Amino acid sequence: MVILTATHLHEIMKNRIAIINQKGGVGKTTTSLYLSRGLAQKGKKVLLIDLDPQAHSTLSLGIDPQEAMCGIHDVLLHRLDIKQAITQTEIPNFFLVPSHIRLDKAELELIHDPLGATKLKNTLKKLDDEFDFIIIDCRPTLGTLTYNALFACNMALVPCEISRYSLEGLYDLMDTIHNIEEGLANDFQFKILLNRFDSRKKVSNEWFLDQIAKHRNILLNTFIRVCEPLNQAHMTNASVLNIDPKCSGALDYQQLTQEILDLCQN
């Protein structure tokens, strides 16, 4: 159950972005990692919060969730101040709050708390002066953790593939955001990122773009193209920037970083 009070309504936040889609396997974690890294390389101080119990962002950054001293679950259950859960990555300006499978249990506890959906929002207030961007890698469900991310952010960035199932998931998420819009930030933005785009599939591309024609104003200009070096990076848990920094995937994520910077400066 989501309960809002007047103190939770229409607050303006500083560059907090939820990477979200209730459909799994659409590139949420990849987008979270490359956007965070790209912003850090632009000189921005970035915090990535892994809000998925699968902990893929945490693992991708070389941190074993089982060995981490603490994680976001400890923060949400008020066992720990969030500043104590932040760890420096190997990339300058790039910090992480790790995840753990125990986050599943934390979500079950938050469900029974009338203010459980706003725990993250309230705890992030103390970090706005410390970080230029806070990125949240969400789990692929529309539960209490996802509500926490939406209420805590002023942008939802939705990686979306060109498929009917992805489209249905997108519309479900849009309905959810419409239903809770009174609790969202006053400057909240909803943006769609086309992922694994293949220009050769003209019929499928035209069909998908026609389906979302009335929402073209929220479709980002950047498309993340199908890219073999990106696949190789996933398999080896490496960065595509180390494998082939001039491949289409690396260039597209650089363009995404700049587009997000431009959006956040407006």
Return the number of other C-beta atoms located less than 10 Å from residue 80's C-beta.
17
Q: Which of 200, 111, 203 is nearest to 163 (CA)?
A: 203
CA distance 230 to 239: 8
Strands 46-51 and 133-138: parallel
Q: Percentage helix, strand, coil, to 5, in the chain? A: 50, 15, 35
Tens digit of pLDDT for each residue in 141-161?
888 999 999 999 999 999 998
**Distance from the first to the final alpha carbon of the chain:** 34
Domain tally, the chain: 1
pLDDT by 10s per residue, the chain, length 266? 444 443 444 455 679 999 998 877 788 999 999 999 999 999 999 999 999 999 999 999 988 888 877 899 999 998 899 999 999 999 999 999 999 998 999 999 999 888 889 999 999 988 988 999 999 999 998 889 999 999 999 999 999 988 888 888 888 889 989 999 888 999 999 999 999 888 899 999 899 899 888 888 999 999 999 888 787 777 777 787 777 888 888 999 999 999 999 999 85
DSSP 203: H
Specify if 153 maps to a domain: yes
Q: Which of 30, 48, 37 is nearest to 161 (CA)?
A: 30
Specify if 165 maps to a domain: yes
Specify if 39 maps to a domain: yes
Specify if 1 maps to a domain: no
Specify if 3 maps to a domain: no
Specify if 2 maps to a domain: no
- Indicate which CATH number applies to the domain containing 190: 3.40.50.300
CA distance 48 to 55: 12
Q: Where are the beta strands (DSSP E) in 154-218?
A: 155-160, 189-197
The parent domain of residue 106 ranges over 8-265
